[in-house]
Amino acid sequence: MIGARKEPIVTLKVTSCNSFLSHGLISCLIIVSGYSQSVYAYTAENIVNRLKPSNKLHVQGGRVKSSAIYPGAQAALWIRERVRGSRFIRLRSRYRTNFYLHIQRGRLQVGAINPQWKSAMWLLQRVPGTSYVRIQNRRQPYKYIHIEKGRVQASQIRPDWKSAMWTFKRIGGVGRSWSSVVRETRAGSRRTKKTTKLIVPVKPIPKGVHVEILQATYGSNCKVPVGNVTKKVQARCNGLVNCGYRVNPGVLGDPARGCRKDFLVIYRCGKGKPKKRAYLSPDASGKGIDLICFKN
């Protein structure tokens, strides 16, 4: 990755960029210090409303909102993830990696999802004669995301509502999605500081990388059967790139009454990948655990 090299960076020039928005990718040819390299990055975008162009969808505070937010806010960055073999996408927060837009409980929410949830899949419908789209839910196709009543929600709309029309804006194309990096360089015996625009991409998720639960045990320290909650954790996490799982006795049950139980998960990040281990010590009840296969 550019920026990991120790040599001073003298020049940086973007010679060409091609966008593949249907896949959320940008391909750029970069010339740095006399050599070229292709960089692929998932596109981080703002989702901006037509009725109120200052409004962006964001997750500041942990809930999905549509309002004005300071420029460059990470909480207002979204990544489109294509649902394999379909026209649908998932909308994932870049700020909170495990958070997706969904309507699993009826209303529009953001949070961790089951990969099978059609409530977390969306179709972008082009508004004829404009550059805007409507965002339609797969599970309940009559529901569209809008701000007609001020707050953001998903419900039935009228075709003329500009509040239900959105545009996806990359952060200034390529340039403004980079970080400004202060790098110390040496020129002979003279030491200088140089501010250079470097690509800090949202890394592409490698093909086949996803959580695959092999074994999950709630209460292994209490002599319960190994893998006693495997199927329940699989239903929640299998297929996601990363999974945040909260230990809920109401869902998992109480396999050893009176014993303070730990929580152990053995998983891998795709076929043929090495096994990983995630562990919560007693008392694990109510605590959260992160199963990570990809880091931005």
Helix ranges (DSSP H) in 102-178: none
pLDDT score of 37: 34
Query: Is 179 a residue whose pLDDT tops 70?
Result: no
Q: For 81-127, what is each residue's pLDDT tens digit?
A: 989 888 899 999 988 878 999 999 999 999 999 989 999 999 888 88
pLDDT score of 71: 81
Name 111's Cβ contacts closer than 8 Å, sequence gap at least 6.
98, 99, 100, 102
Whether the predicted model's global pTM rises above the 0.75 cut = no
Mean pLDDT of 48-70: 91
Per-residue pLDDT band for 5 (boundaries 50, 70, 90) equals very low
Per-residue pLDDT band for 295 (boundaries 50, 70, 90) equals low
pLDDT score of 294: 72
Q: Which residue carries 């529009």 as its tokens?
A: 108
Q: Which long-range contacts (CB under 8 A, 24 or more apart) does 26-34 make?
A: 26/170, 26/174, 26/201, 28/174, 28/199, 30/2, 30/199, 32/2, 33/7, 33/8, 33/9, 34/10
Per-residue pLDDT band for 29 (boundaries 50, 70, 90) equals very low
Q: Bigger pLDDT: 32 or 127?
A: 127
Mean pLDDT of 36-51: 67
pLDDT score of 72: 81
CB 19 within 8 A of CB 26: yes
pLDDT score of 205: 59
Query: Is 65 a residue whose pLDDT tops 90?
Result: yes
* Least confidently predicted of 95-99, 110-114, 131-135, 253-257: 95-99
Per-residue pLDDT band for 204 (boundaries 50, 70, 90) equals low
Domains of the chain, residue spans: 12-43+172-198, 45-170, 212-292
Query: Is 157 a residue whose pLDDT tops 90?
Result: no
Nearest Cα neighbor of 275 from 284, 266, 283 is 266
Q: Cα separation of 23 and 21, whole Å?
A: 5
Name the phi and psi angles at 5, rounded to 5.
-75, 150
**Burial class of residue 78 in the structure, from the number of CB atoms within 10 Å of its CB (0-12 exposed, 13-18 middle, 19+ buried):** buried
CATH value of 45-170 in 3.50.50.60, 2.80.10.50, 3.40.30.10, 1.20.210.10: 2.80.10.50
pLDDT score of 209: 80
**CA dihedral defined by 111, 117, 118, 123, rounded to 10 degrees?**
40
Mean pLDDT of 263-287: 93
Per-residue pLDDT band for 203 (boundaries 50, 70, 90) equals very low
* Dihedral-angle region of residue 227 (phi above 0 means left; psi in -120 to 50 means alpha; beta otherwise): left
pLDDT score of 178: 27
Name 100's Cβ contacts closer than 8 Å, sequence gap at least 6.
90, 91, 92, 93, 110, 111, 112, 113, 120
Helix ranges (DSSP H) in the chain: 230-237, 249-252
Q: Cα separation of 258 and 42, whole Å?
A: 48
